[in-house]
Amino acid sequence: MRQDRTRQDRTCQDRRLALVTGAHRGPGLAIASALAQAGVQILLGCRSRERGHAAAAARPEGAWMEPVHLDVTDDWSIAALRELVRREYGRLDILVNAAEVALDARDDLLPRERFERSFAVNATGAAAVTEAMLPLLTRSEAPCVVNLLAAPGGGAPAYLASKAALEALTRAEAARLKGLGIKVNGIRPVSLPGPAGLRATAELARRYALLGPDGPSGTVAMAEPLALAG
């Protein structure tokens, strides 16, 4: 394992390194795969180690993906991952906050529980991970943070409220971190059924994760209609 890690460390000096939260399924996994296919080294942040290893095993051919344990509601878990990244890689180029929960259909939860749990993952969790990773992001030549927001539409109060908070956080963090050269943007998932929507969302995230020094910050991006038609 140490021999493999040393090889990976050398490779990481020439390739960008990304942490994607909620990366074992859905948009998180699709975004991680799109970035990996673009040559980015991916840390798959997953609360379940088993699901993380399963996601890594299904990676595209030639892609570099490593599962890492991360519970965005647990400060100890976040701190432990920050230390691992610092020790093994020395920096972080891209952070994609894609961990999310949708609990509005959970009849076994009281309204207060649905809102508190939704905010804990969808908004507070993203804020905590971003803050923890700042020392590593500042070591990158082109650090980018991409937050996964809500798709257009309505009907899920706890989910939408927590994602609205994440959108506000995106704009606030973009302003706060401008002086550090860190770009912070939000993307809205593409409302297309099945794999087509995931692919379009992943492509949008890839574009904003790989922004250069002159790219935008503090924006909320949606896929262009022509891109969806293609």
Q: Catalytic site residues?
A: 159
- Whole-number Å distance between alpha carbons of 98 and 27: 7
Closest CA to 38 of 99, 100, 93, 90: 93
Q: Could you tell me the CA-to-CA distances from 63 to 34, 35, 36 in Å, in that order?
A: 10, 9, 5
- Whole-number Å distance between alpha carbons of 175 and 183: 9
